[in-house]
Structure formats: C-alpha cells, structure tokens
Amino acid sequence: MFRDVLQRLGIQEVNSGVYAGNWVKQPSGGEFESFNPATGKPLARVLTASRADYDQAVESCQRGFETWRTLPPPQRGEIIRQLGLAIRQKKKDLGMLVTLEVGKVLSEGEGEVQEMIDICDFATGLSRQLYGRTIASERPLHRMFEQWHPLGPVGVVTAFNFPVAVWAWNAAIAAVCGDSLLWKPSPQAPLTAIATQHIVNQVMADHSMPGIFNLCISHDASVGRWLAQDRRMPLVSATGSCEMGRDVGQKVAARLGRSLLELGGNNGVILAPTANLDLALRAILFAAAGTAGQRCTTLRRLFIHESLADTFIQQLVQAYQSSQVGDPWEDGVLMGPLIHETAVQEMLQALELAREQGGEVLCGGTRLERAGYFVTPTIVRAPGGMPIVQTETFAPILYVMTYQSLDQVIREHNSADQGLSSAIFTNDLLEAERFLSATGSDCGIANVNIGTSGAEIGGAFGGEKETGGGREAGSDAWKAYMRRQTCTVNGGGELPLAQGVEFSLPQI
Ligand code: NAD
C-alpha cells in the first residue's frame, strides 16, 4: 500500500534532492536514506547537494526572480490558486507521506496538507491586496506614498515536524509577493519535500516558469549554513530549534541581510478555578500529547490552580493512560512515534533529570518494546523552580505545577526563555482580559479556552524572545517578503523643502 503512495507522488528508490529549474540528475553531495520512524525501515534514498549543486539552485532562483517579479501580483496569485488545486488532488497521498516520514497520525498528516491548501487560498486573495499607504505631505502639491516591491530570492529552511506546511506558509506568500524560493528541508523529511516539488513543477511547467520554486537537500545543516552566509539571498526564513536560529540569525545579520526566525517554544497553560474542566481536559491532552509532543506549540507547562489540582491531575492521568500509542496510519491512534533514536534518548534523559530535581513521574515515561521510536506520553508533577521545566525537550512530557494567585502564575508563565504560544482556561472575564493585557502573557500567541497548538493560517504566526520574533502566514506577515519604498512626487512648479529649510540658488 505504501509503495503505491510513494509511486503516485513520483518518489523512486533513488531520488535527486536538487531542483534548480530542472531536476539535477546526479547531485554530488552524497546519498542518504529517509526512514519511517514507526518501523525504523528505509523508505527511499536521496542524492544530496554539493556546493556546486547549491550554487546552481541559487542561480536558478535568481533567474526565476528576474521574470517572476515583472508579473502583476494577481497573475502570480492565479498561479498560486492553481497550485492549491494541484495540492488538493494529492491531499490524501501527501498526507500519508507526512505520516510515513515523520510519524504524525493520519488526520494530522492530512491536516498539514490542508494547511498548504488554505495558505494558497489566502495568498491568492492577498495577491490583490498588497496595499501601500498614501501619506499626507507637508509640502504643497506633493504626493507621498509607500509601495511594496518584490524582495528577491528567499531561502527557506524548514524543520522536520511541519515538513510541508511551513514551506507552504513561506512559499505561497513569498510567491505572490514576487519572490523566488530556495527550499532546504529537514534531513528527516526529504521525500515529503521532493513529492511537493513534483506537484509544484506540474503547475509551473504549465506557465513555463521553472525557476521560481527550487529545492536543495543536504543530509545535514550544510545547505542552511550556505544560505545564511549567501548575499544573493536577501531573506532567509528559518524554522527550527533556538540553537539553529541563533546561528542563522547571527550569520545573516553579519552580512546585514534579513532573517525571519520561527524557533522553539516552551508553551504554558493556566487552568483557573472557573474553567470548564471537560473542555480543558480535551484541549490539554491534544496540546500536550498530540503529535507526540513534537510541535513548536506543544503544551509543556501546565499551571493548575491549587483548588483544582488533585482531581484534575487524576482525570488527566486517566486520559493519558487510555490514549492509544501506535502506528500513526491506524484508526484511533492518538500518538505516533518520535522522529528518531536521539529524540527517544533525549526524552529519557530529561525524565532522569526531572526525577533528580524532585519531579514525580505520574504516568508514561517508558519506551514501547517494538520497532520504531515509540514512547508513552508522560506527566511529571514538578515542584516550583525545577530547572528542567525551562527546557524544550521535543517529546510528550508535560510538567504540571500548582499556583495560588493569577499575578504569581503569570510571572512564572513568562519566565520561560521562549515566547511562542500560551493559553488560559477560565470563565472569568476579568482573568481572561488580564491574561491578554500588556502585563499578561508575553507570547506571540495568547488563547482563551483553547489549547496552545493548532493555529489557523489567517493569523500571523510566531513568537517573542528566543522564539525569534518572526511572523509567518496570515495578517500582514507578507510584509517580511517585500521591500518597502517611500515615494514623493512633486506635482507643482516650486521646490519647497521639508522642515522649512531654505536653499536658494546664488545669483549668477
Ligand atoms: P533543527 O533546528 O534541528 O533543524 C531545523 C532545520 O534547520 C533543518 O533543516 C536543519 O538541517 C537546519 N539547521 C540546523 N542547524 C542549522 C544551522 N546551524 N544553520 C542552518 N541550518 C541549520 O530543528 P528540528 O529538530 O528539525 O525541529 C524541531 C525544532 O523546531 C523545535 O525546537 C521546534 O520548536 C522548532 N519549530 C519551530 C516552529 C515555529 O514556527 N516556531 C515550527 C516548527 C518547529
């Protein structure tokens, strides 16, 4: 069954990992295998980019940009609309490939592809709404306005856990803005990227526009490092760990380029006394254990009001214990595998540290004895100030703490180094408003009566502090992909200067 899916998506036993306006037949950076984390078995092999292959992809991107930027934005939008249609036709297969390559349960695999479709729809509308402002000029008969132009080729580095949605957030928006792209996907998800590139290629071939979306796979971070240092890429949009972002951010800044960073999170939920506990239980289970704890928005820190703690924790433990862990393509499974052996070891080490620091493992904390990288979702009761709570371990570990006052818990909530997603469960309007106020949550995303994960594409997505400050997807996130130009036109016969400055020609 799985072979058929791969075949329908154009995946062969050995695949080129470089697309530079056309597939580079024999990229010379070496070869590696992509594995199914649920079985530990290889899916297919990928030929990776050498520096010369990378340069070819950048040149294709530059050539693509020269023509693409001259197309009126609504025409670019029409092509992105067609891309959305092409992705719709492959939704089931591509969703299954996400499941096979990164271990998400099927509905999440398909949900990720739906996110690609949604952002194509959004970008199509956006292509007619790249608005600039008209500004009141202080000089008579002068017109001042700002306009937005395409920025140039954009480097897009993606993480394994959203192997296609994050590319689409960048690609659809950047493309209607007039930019070309070079995608460096995660080494854990190369086949999903190659399959996506095949879909894109069909659409772009219909318009004889081969060099707009390019692909460059390496088995490690090398292509990402080249992008960060490459002056030909005015913008590098990078999604991944804070460690990666620190490196990319510094390298891009050193050449005074632009970076758009979407990095790690250590997301918290406050469960207040008036919360609807049924709703909160379901939301917390999905946010903390869904996607095997491998979302940037995964709930990792739960602060429960002390009046609710004992009963609620008991219910949560029961819900955890009845959640099914298993093959992500099977019905009824809530949680698939972790991405690789290192992730399993990092989770077990974090739990060892948690125990040493006074944490009590209430459920989970084990590895399943079977092929693949399966663990059980875990709840740790954590005493206040436990250091490991401040670390983003990319696994299903939920640290549970109690609190007494809202002021105190907001301070504690905001003490994390990252600032991505946050939520409060409460039916008390004043508490909800306090959480959303300027002295409330310090995160890029703040929710009331909704978990921390599962954002819609219409909003700008991203976070503060060590999450990197970038914003992608909806709202006005498109502005990151364009250059702003302030223009003034003198429609009169005089030359008045701003601020009343006089500068007359001397009498000759
Ligand atoms: P990672 O940092 O290991 O890798 C992400 C990507 O960056 C990969 O393509 C990798 O090859 C590349 N890379 C790594 N080091 C690099 C460097 N020094 N220079 C250039 N490129 C480099 O992350 P991961 O394990 O794939 O993903 C998990 C992490 O990503 C978590 O921290 C998660 O919170 C974060 N994430 C954040 C968001 C967000 O939108 N904020 C979304 C998804 C994932």
Candidate list 101, 112, 262, 472, residue with the active-site label: 262
Q: In what order do the strands lie in the sheet with 142-150?
A: 134-135, 142-150, 482-490
- Return the closest-CA partner of residue 193 out of 224, 175, 215, 210: 215
Sort strands 142-150 and 134-135 into parallel, antiparallel or unpaired.
antiparallel
Could you read off the pLDDT of 315-330 as tens digits, one per residue? 999 999 999 999 999 9
Average pLDDT of 191-207?
98
| Domain made up of 2-134+150-263+468-475: CATH architecture | 3-Layer(aba) Sandwich (3.40)
- Return the closest-CA partner of residue 297 out of 468, 453, 469: 453
Sign of CA dihedral 352, 354, 355, 361: negative
Ligand 1 pocket, 249 CB below 6 A?
no
The closest-lying atom of ligand 1 relative to the alpha carbon of residue 468 is: 41
Active site includes 110?
no
For residue 44, pLDDT over 90 is answered with yes
| DSSP string over 405-467 | -HHHHHHHHTTSSEESEEEEE-S-HHHHHHHHSTTS--SSEEEESS-SS---TTSEE--EETT
Ligand 1 pocket, 199 CB below 6 A?
no
Candidate list 177, 216, 296, 443, residue with the active-site label: 296
Whole-number Å distance between alpha carbons of 411 and 32: 46
Ligand 1 pocket, 460 CB below 6 A?
no
Q: How many residues does the chain have?
A: 508
Is there a contact between 377 and 320 (Cβ–Cβ < 8 Å)? yes
CA–centroid distance, 160 to ligand 1, in Å, is 7
Which conformational region is residue 335 in: left (phi greater than 0), alpha (psi within -120 to 50 degrees), or beta? beta
For residue 56, pLDDT over 70 is answered with yes
Average pLDDT of 423-435?
98
Could you check whether 2-134+150-263+468-475 and 267-460 share the same CATH topology?
no
Which conformational region is residue 51 in: left (phi greater than 0), alpha (psi within -120 to 50 degrees), or beta? alpha
Q: What angle do CA 367, 343, 380 make, to 5 degrees?
A: 60
Q: How far is CA 65 from the centre of its chain?
A: 24
Which conformational region is residue 473 in: left (phi greater than 0), alpha (psi within -120 to 50 degrees), or beta? left
CA–centroid distance, 164 to ligand 1, in Å, is 14
Average pLDDT of 54-74?
98
Comparing 268 with 504, the larger pLDDT belongs to 268
CA–centroid distance, 161 to ligand 1, in Å, is 9
For residue 355, pLDDT over 90 is answered with yes
Average pLDDT of 208-221?
96
Ligand 1 pocket, 262 CB below 6 A?
yes
CA–centroid distance, 336 to ligand 1, in Å, is 20
Is there a contact between 221 and 244 (Cβ–Cβ < 8 Å)? yes
CA–centroid distance, 228 to ligand 1, in Å, is 14
The closest-lying atom of ligand 1 relative to the alpha carbon of residue 339 is: 25
The domain over range 267-460 is classified in CATH as 3.30.70.100:
no
Ligand 1 pocket, 340 CB below 6 A?
no
Which residue's CA is the closest to the ligand 1 atom numbered 15? 244
Q: How big is the chain by its Cα radius of gyration, in Å?
A: 25
Q: Between the CA of residue 333 and those of 24, 330, 464, what are the distances in Å?
A: 39, 6, 33
Domain segments of the chain as ranges? 2-134+150-263+468-475, 267-460
pLDDT of residue 134: 98
Indicate the pLDDT class of residue 1, thresholds 50, 70 and 90. Answer: low
Is there a contact between 496 and 140 (Cβ–Cβ < 8 Å)? yes
For residue 390, pLDDT over 80 is answered with yes
**% residues pLDDT > 70 (the chain):** 100
Amino acid at 482: M
| DSSP string over 241-271 | -HHHHHHHHHHHHHTT-EEEEE----EEEEE
Q: Between the CA of residue 273 and those of 285, 310, 434, 477, what are the distances in Å?
A: 19, 13, 15, 36
Ligand 1 pocket, 157 CB below 6 A?
yes
Comparing 454 with 70, the larger pLDDT belongs to 70
Average pLDDT of 138-152?
98
Which residue's CA is the closest to the ligand 1 atom numbered 21? 224
Is there a contact between 17 and 215 (Cβ–Cβ < 8 Å)? yes
Active site includes 262?
yes
Whole-number Å distance between alpha carbons of 282 and 50: 47
Ligand 1 pocket, 176 CB below 6 A?
no
Q: What angle do CA 397, 399, 401 make, to 5 degrees?
A: 165
Average pLDDT, the chain: 97
pLDDT of residue 91: 98
pLDDT of residue 124: 98
Strand partners, 154: 181, 235
Q: What angle do CA 295, 298, 299 make, to 5 degrees?
A: 175
Neighbouring CB atoms inside 10 A of 12's CB total: 11
Could you read off the pLDDT of 241-262 as tens digits, one per residue? 999 999 999 999 999 999 999 9
Q: How far is CA 17 from the centre of its chain?
A: 21
Helix (H) or strand (E) holding 404, with range, is none
User: Quick one: angle between helices 73-89 and 91-102, nearest 10?
Assistant: 70
Whole-number Å distance between alpha carbons of 219 and 100: 18
